[in-house]
Amino acid sequence: MESFSLEGRTALVTGGNSGIGRAIVRLFAAHGASIGISHIGDAAGAQTLADELGANGTRVATTECDVTDAASVARLGAWGRERLGAVDILVNAAGISGETSFVDLSIDEWDRMMAVNLRGTFLVTKQFFADMIARKYGRVINIASQLAYKGTHDMAHYCASKAGVVGFTRALSYEGAPHGVTVNAIAPGPVETAMLASFTDAWRAMKFSQLPAGRFGESDEIAPTALLLASETGGAYFIGQTLSPNGGDVML
């Protein structure tokens, strides 16, 4: 079997309608996967992407889900099992960010960040993990951030949530690995998406100046790492890892 083929596999990508998630969806489809795209409030964007993939022969379906909401995620699980069949590959790409100094950070902002980035990853993974274990095959890929390691000012809530994702990934990998289910993460550096565009010019300039690569990254430079982790052969021996396409912002 070709190392990076996803033929016969089905992948569900939360936040698959935009940014890094969308690049992953396109690359997975190009490598033969059937695709589920979960979005929030972007039915048109998700459908446009689905139409693009469908025109190229990919089996694709879209649905809306708020990853913070247990009932909504339960509906995503039911939808996935009914419309997609077995979900072999789950990518938790849905996420939010925010820039607020710790002194000004409200409890609501903290809770919201944790709800989307950490609770969302937990809730969605919980919907599909047991089935993967039962089928003795699965790939869970969580999108963390290099800021989980490096930290930065005005983003204590974001950095804490992403460090939580790294820890969750490591811990869950112990429960998946004996059953053929790998759990890994990706910690991208700054990537030109709507999220990065939402940062202040001052933060972007500060981050830009720290990058050995001398530029921000592109979503298409992150997706191949997801393909590696998702693939049957190439990804099989990555267990609990967090891989770091990050422009050199963090070197581990």
Which residue, 16 or 235, is less far from ligand NAD as judged by CB? 16
Q: Are 186 and 143 in contact (CB under 8 A)?
A: yes
- Structure-block tokens of residue 250: 């963090």
Site for ligand NAD in 137-166 (CB under 6 A): 143, 145
CA distance 147 to 199: 14
Closer of 176 and 188 to ligand NAD (Cβ): 188
| Binding flag, residue 124, ligand NAD (CB under 6 A) | no
Cβ burial 108-118 (10 Å sphere, 16+ → b, else e) = eebebbbbbbb
| Interface pick for ligand NAD out of 107, 194, 251, 252 (rule CB under 6 A) | 194
CB contact at 8 A, 24 and 199? no
Burial class (CB in 10 A: 0-12, 13-18, 19+), 6: buried
Q: Is 158 a catalytic residue?
A: yes
Of these, 96, 160, 177, 239, which contacts ligand NAD (CB under 6 A)?
Answer: 96
Number of residues that bind ligand NAD (CB under 6 A): 29
Rounded CA separation 49/28 (Å): 13
Using the rule CB under 6 A, give the single segment among 2-10, 34-42, 170-178, 225-233 that binds ligand NAD. 34-42
Q: Check binding of 91 to ligand NAD (CB under 6 A).
A: no
Looking at 1-9, 76-84, 171-179, 190-198, which segment touches ligand NAD (CB under 6 A)?
Answer: 190-198
Q: In this chain, which stretch among 1-9, 64-72, 82-90, 125-133 interacts with ligand NAD, using CB under 6 A?
A: 64-72
> Taking CB under 6 A as the rule, does residue 20 contact ligand NAD?
yes
221 forms part of the interface with ligand NAD (CB under 6 A)? no
Q: What distance in Å separates the CA atoms of residue 154 and residue 103, rounded to the nearest whole number?
A: 9
Q: Look up tokens 């190009």; give the residue.
A: 30
| Interface region with ligand NAD, contact rule CB under 6 A, candidates 2-10, 63-71, 102-110, 130-138 | 63-71
Closest CA to 90 of 155, 172, 190, 160: 172
CB 171, CB 185: distance < 8 Å? no
17 is a contact residue toward ligand NAD (CB under 6 A) = yes
Does 113 contact ligand NAD by CB under 6 A? no
Q: Is 46 one of the binding residues for ligand NAD (CB under 6 A)? A: no
| Dihedral angle sign, alpha carbons of residues 97, 103, 108, 110 | positive
If one asks whether residue 93 binds ligand NAD (CB under 6 A), the answer comes out as yes
Q: Which of 137, 149, 158, 237 is catalytic?
A: 158
Q: Which residues pair with 140 in a beta bridge?
A: 90, 183
Burial of 182 (0-12, 13-18, 19+ CB in 10 A): buried
- Tell me the β-bridge partners of 181: 138
Which residues lie near ligand NAD (CB under 6 A)?
14-15, 17-21, 39-40, 42, 65-68, 93-97, 116, 143, 145, 188, 190-191, 193-196
| Residues catalogued as catalytic | 158
